[in-house]
């Protein structure tokens, strides 16, 4: 990693825009994260305004890393999940840089940012080979890293498993909606994981998302062959990964 100093990360989601300064030596936030409700509708200009407001509140005047629930290629948002569809085709780097007075910005997918953070500071720290991070929430986000190098925009939650998209089969939201028990849900998750491990052969799978807080109730029930470990950074992972990305010049 390039810097031992501080960087600023912002994690943009469907309900909140969250940001903080990060100590890159430790991966810890230097202060409580600042949160602003995601504007509704969450159009590009409205969200850019919220980002500018958050950075002003923090008193930060340097480069900013940002995550979005989108596939991001060369700064352009190609998809939009849980955020206004007007984002599709938006030059996110130009938008946020202009909103922040022309400063340097980096924008990447939110699950990719979480994967970077967990690989460097969290559950997959110091592990070699291929790491697969999956975030179980409304959908299933994914990040692939090989020896710490990100393979961006994997979007494995959309892979078809048993005739359905993986996230339609085994997202945490599906467990709630269908009122599945942990054993029932773990069976579905295992089906998804077996498909992914047959394709990618990861050394370890890191399970994130809010449901990872209850990992004792379902990770031991999984029947796939690859070790599955719970994420460590929880709700700070996106912020930390965004800060890493801007400090290290990671720009998918």
Over residues 104-153, the pLDDT tens digits come to 999 999 999 999 999 999 998 988 999 999 999 989 999 999 999 999 99
Q: How confident is the model at residue 59 (pLDDT cuts 50, 70, 90)?
A: very high
Mean pLDDT of 42-61: 98
Are residues 186 and 215 in contact, defined by beta-carbon separation less than 8 angstroms?
no
Q: What is the mean pLDDT of the chain?
A: 95
Residue 175 host element (H or E): helix 172-177
Predicted structure pTM score: 0.94
Over residues 79-113, the pLDDT tens digits come to 998 899 999 999 999 999 999 999 999 999 999 99
Residue 57 phi, psi (nearest 5): -60, -35
Mean pLDDT of 33-56: 97
Domains of the chain, first to last: 6-112+236-248 (3.30.420.40), 126-231 (3.30.420.40)
Please check the confidence at residue 1 and state whether its pLDDT lies above 50: no
Residue 2 has a pLDDT of 41
């Amino acid at each position: 990693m390039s810097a031992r100093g501080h960087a600023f990360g912002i994690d943009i989601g469907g309900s909140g825009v969250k940001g903080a300064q990060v100590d890159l030596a430790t991966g810890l936030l230097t202060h409580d994260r600042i949160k602003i409700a995601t504007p509704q509708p969450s159009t590009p200009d409205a969200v850019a305004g919220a980002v500018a407001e958050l950075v002003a509140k923090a008193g930060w005047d340097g480069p900013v890393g940002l995550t979005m629930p989108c596939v991001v290629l060369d700064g352009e948002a190609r998809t939009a999940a849980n955020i206004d569809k007007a984002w599709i085709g938006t030059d996110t780097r130009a938008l946020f840089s202009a909103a922040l007075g022309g400063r340097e910005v980096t924008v990447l997918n939110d699950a990719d940012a979480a994967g970077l953070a967990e690989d460097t500071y969290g559950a997959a720290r110091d592990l070699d080979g291929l790491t697969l991070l999956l975030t179980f929430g409304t959908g299933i986000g994914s990040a692939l890293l090989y020896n710490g190098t990100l393979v961006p925009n994997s979007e494995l939650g959309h892979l078809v498993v048993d005739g359905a998209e993986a996230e339609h089969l085994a997202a945490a939201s599906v467990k709630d909606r269908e009122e599945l028990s942990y054993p029932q849900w773990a069976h579905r998750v295992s089906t998804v994981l077996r498909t992914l491990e047959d394709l990618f052969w990861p050394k370890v799978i890191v399970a994130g998302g809010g449901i990872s807080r209850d990992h004792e109730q379902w990770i031991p029930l999984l029947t796939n062959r690859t070790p599955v470990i719970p994420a460590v950074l929880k709700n700070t992972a996106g912020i930390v990964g965004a800060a890493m990305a801007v400090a290290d010049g990671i720009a998918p």
